[in-house]
Structure 1
Amino acid sequence: MLNNMNPDAARPSTDPNDVQVSSLARRIHGWSWQAFPIGMGTGAVYVTMSAIKYHSKVLTVIETIFFFINMVLFVLNMSTLLIQALLYPRQALRLIKDPVKGIFVPLCVLSFATIIIGTINYAVPSGHVHPGFIYDLFWVYVTFSLVVCLPMLMIWFNKPHDLTTFTPAWAFLVFPMMLVGVVAFNALRVIPPEDPRALGVLLVGYFFQGLGFFVTFIYICIYIIRIMTTGFLDGHQANGAFVACGPPGFTALALINLGDRAMEILPHHNLVSPAAGEIWYASSVMAGLLLFGLAVFFFVFGALPYWFKLHKHLSEILGCWALTFPNVGWINVIKVLGDVFHIEGFYVLHVVMTVVICITWAVLFVLTVVAFWRGKIFMANGQDVLEDTFEEGERFQMVDPGRTWDVRGGGVGNRF
């Protein structure tokens, strides 16, 4: 992608950013799986908004707009990474195997989960999507999470990792399986309890929620050991402290809602015992309340030192999106507890936290756009693009009167 065989463009440069490669090529090469938290943060806005107790049509319209923005971002990220895999397969493979960037690969599955939830909230009530399609989407999500998570776990655990650099974000490798429970109770909102398929969704939701939570809980234990050893996370890792809110928060949300569905589904199918549904629900509320307390603790534990530990660099803005989506679970639990215990104060607190999420999204979105415009993110240098464009030993010659320039193995400007 050298510019039009211009002799000046072929002249060697000591600065890799001065290598004449189109900005589009540098964008595609510089794209990464860290782009998905932007869509997930957008999904966090309409997921928290949709749980507001006293709803209005205006609020639904705003949520729908965010839903479509999320879908556009998902398609943009997936298509750009696909183009990257076709044009620069070595870079695509490098991102997957990278010990830091590789943990963000499963976020594409989490982003898909927010789209499914949005489809249930806005497309099913309007009649554009049939509940049977939601049932199919649920199994697509389960398959998608397994296909992505299991290989990534094999790749990541195939190499040793230094626990002194541990961050809760490493748990992203298991998050999609943990979120099956959340997708399950949302799907059960539109699948009738007497439908035989509802039982399968319920049991699979419990199965994966338990799997995901207990594995991520082990990560949380390692996180506590890490900060006991090195102190609070600093720099870009300070954002990862909020990821610890995710497992207990989403598990509390899933358990209470799955228990609510079990109270209807189990009696319909005469399973376990006549009181099984109520027992499942009651135990889920108690467990959910316990986990809610843990999630709030980790939120406060991450928020208090955050401003003093964070590096205020635009190049690290993508990590700041962890301020949004991991907190959705425990924030929506506030509203659910209001429904369970009939406490109006919970509804007010939920609205307040939803507004905080919206403000956080707006600030992060503006800063992300600025960082993108200035080339701080998703922008590779020209030298890296050339190194992945030409195979080792391949020679691309550009002839200028009296001079011949050579590109070998990605190098540019070697005269021969």
Structure 2
Amino acid sequence: MSLEQQTTTSQTTAKVSSLARRIHGWSWQAFPIGMGTGAVYVTLSGVKSRSNLLLQVEHVFFFLNIVLFLLNTTTLTLQLFFFPRQSLRLIKDPVKGVFVPLAVLSFATILIGTINYAVLPGHISPNLIYHLFWVYVSLSLIVCFPMLMIWFNKPHDLATFTPAWAFLIFPLMLVGVIAFNVLRVIPPEEPRAIGILLVGYAFQGLGFFMTFFYICIYIIRIMMTGFLEGHQANGAFVAVGPPGFTALALLKLGDCARKTLPLHGLVTPTAGDVWYAVSVMSAVMLFGLAVFLFLFGILPYWFKLHKHLSEILGCWALTFPNVGFISVIRVLADIFDLPGFIVWHSIMVVFICITWAVLFFLTLMAFWRGKIFFANPEDVLKDAPTSKLQSLSMEADDEEKTLDGHSR
């Protein structure tokens, strides 16, 4: 590189602060970090013997998840203000755009944590959670449908398909999971419980069947090209989420139906028991599919993954999509009195915690080294409006004088 090129590059770098490069380089792919953090306390809450120490650990992860959520939303809001073209580009991007609905999913993990650590202990009224449930349903519809319209407005190559494209449906699919958690604090004799129950079933069916179509396409894709490679290898675990979370939702919603329907005299006197029995049978079948897809993703994973620190964000798919089937292990242990399943669940919880620790360390390392969330100075200058460049610039005049003196 010539001295003139070095001078130009140095001047460009000097004009853009590190903070501006961070804001410009932030993306919706940051939300899986919070979701992975939420996966830890959600799985820990299913442990059979929970000590006070374990409960404190769950609280730490819960508050850390809130901090990460606020950090992501604040940074992306600043990006929208300073770099609107970059924000629009991320939303319309065929790859990064599918991560936009994860903001709603991250809110879902906070909602579940609020029920566990604030409502059940009596710190927050269940009425607030009832209203937040409808806020979540509204956000799911507001975010998912526009993103689906944007994404389906362009053709996509089947040879590059990844199950991560199903993220566009995930918030709708998780309504059933949120519903049964809300029903834990809403008495079954209240009329509100019927609405939550039916909405939970309806959206869970919508979300699962739509994501099931994605799973079918995923199987066709690997028939054509073989197992997913590189950063796409992480997407194989996304396919575990729909059957796993749907099995969990069916088990819990079926239990709620068994308690709720007879109290309101709906359908038939035995409708609640029938719904529960059908839910258990369906959940066991979906659980088998989830375990198969998990093994289908984990066995070739190490050999197909590219070990690049810049691709660490995709590795967070190892955490939150697996929460569904891991939680189902614990529920089935209680339903069928299977002590071995309790041991299996404990082992999987340990694996989730270890995975989170490794990924969090590597993510911090990638962030520190500028491998993630760090835009090029040229991109920052190109996207920033002229009126806002001054607020993002450093003391460029002094740097230019110094560089000019060196060049002479």
Q: Which bracket does the TM-score occupy, shorter chain normalised? A: over 0.9
Matched residues in 1 for 2:152 and 2:11: separation?
Answer: 33
* Whole-angstrom CA distance in 2 between matches of 1:17 and 1:145: 41
Give the residue type in structure 1 aligned to 2:72.
N
Q: Using the alignment, how far apart are the partners of 2:237 and 2:32 within structure 1?
A: 13
Deviations 1:371-405 (A, max 9, x none): 0000000000100000011469x999x9989x99x
CA shift at 1:193, angstroms?
Answer: 0.3
Aligned to 1:352: 347
Native 8 Å contact 2:83 2:385 kept in 1: no
Query: Is the 1:9–1:20 contact (alpha carbons within 8 Å) kept by the matching residues of 2?
Result: no
Does the 8 Å CA contact 1:9/1:19 hold for their aligned counterparts? no
Distance in 2 (CA, whole Å) between partners of 1:264 and 1:57 is: 30
Cα distance between partner residues in 2 of 1:136 and 1:71: 19
SS of the residue 2:197 aligns to: helix
- With normalisation by structure 1, the TM-score equals 0.91
Work out the percentage of aligned pairs sharing the same amino acid: 70
In structure 1, the partner of 2:169 is 174
CA deviations on 1:71-117 (whole Å, 9 max, x unpaired) are 00000000100000000000000000000000000000000000000
Shift of 1:343: 1.2
Partner of 1:156: 151
* 1:3-152 to 2 correspondences below 5 Å: 11-13=7-9, 18=13, 20-152=15-147
| Structure 1 counterpart of 2:123, one-letter code | H
1:126 Cα deviation from its structure 2 partner: 2.4
Query: Does the 8 A contact of 1:19 with 1:383 survive in 2?
Result: no
Cα distance between partner residues in 2 of 1:358 and 1:111: 18
Residues 107-132 of structure 1, C-alpha deviation per residue, up to 9 Å, x if partnerless?
A: 00000000000000000122211111
| Letter of the structure 2 residue corresponding to residue 264 of structure 1 | K
Q: Does 1:238 align with 2:233?
A: yes
2:269 to 267, 274, 282: 274
* Residue identity opposite 2:165 in structure 1: W
Q: What is the rounded CA distance, in whole Å, between the counterparts of 1:17 and 1:259 in structure 2?
A: 61
Q: What is the identity, as a one-letter code, of the residue corresponding to 1:207?
A: A
- State the distance in 2 between where 1:400 and 1:249 align: 58
- Tell me if structure 2 keeps the 8 A contact 1:16–1:381: no
Q: 1:3 matched to which residue of 2?
A: none
AA partner of residue 192 (structure 1): P
Is residue 2:318 matched to residue 1:323? Answer: yes
Give the CA deviation at 1:11: 4.6
Of structures 1 and 2, the one with the larger relative CO (CA 8 A, separation 6+) is 2
**What is the rounded CA distance, in whole Å, between the counterparts of 2:380 and 2:166 in structure 1?**
31
Contact 2:11–2:396 (CA under 8 A) maintained in structure 1: no
CA distance in 2, matches of 1:311, 1:182: 33
What CA distance in whole angstroms lies between the structure 2 residues aligned with 1:369 and 1:269? 52
How far apart, CA to CA, are the structure 2 residues paired with 1:16 and 1:360? Answer: 42
CA distance in 1, matches of 2:56, 2:92: 41
Give the whole-Å Cα distance in 1 for the aligned partners of 2:238 and 2:11: 35
Aligned to 2:296: 301
Q: Residue 215 of structure 2: SS of its match in structure 1?
A: helix
Structure 2 residues without counterparts, runs of 5 or longer? 402-408
* Alignment: residue pair count: 393
Normalized per residue, the structure richer in helix is 2
Query: What does 1:239-258 correspond to in 2, within 5 Å?
Result: 239-258=234-253
Counterpart Cα distance in 2 of 1:400 and 1:144: 46
The equivalent residue for 1:369 is 364
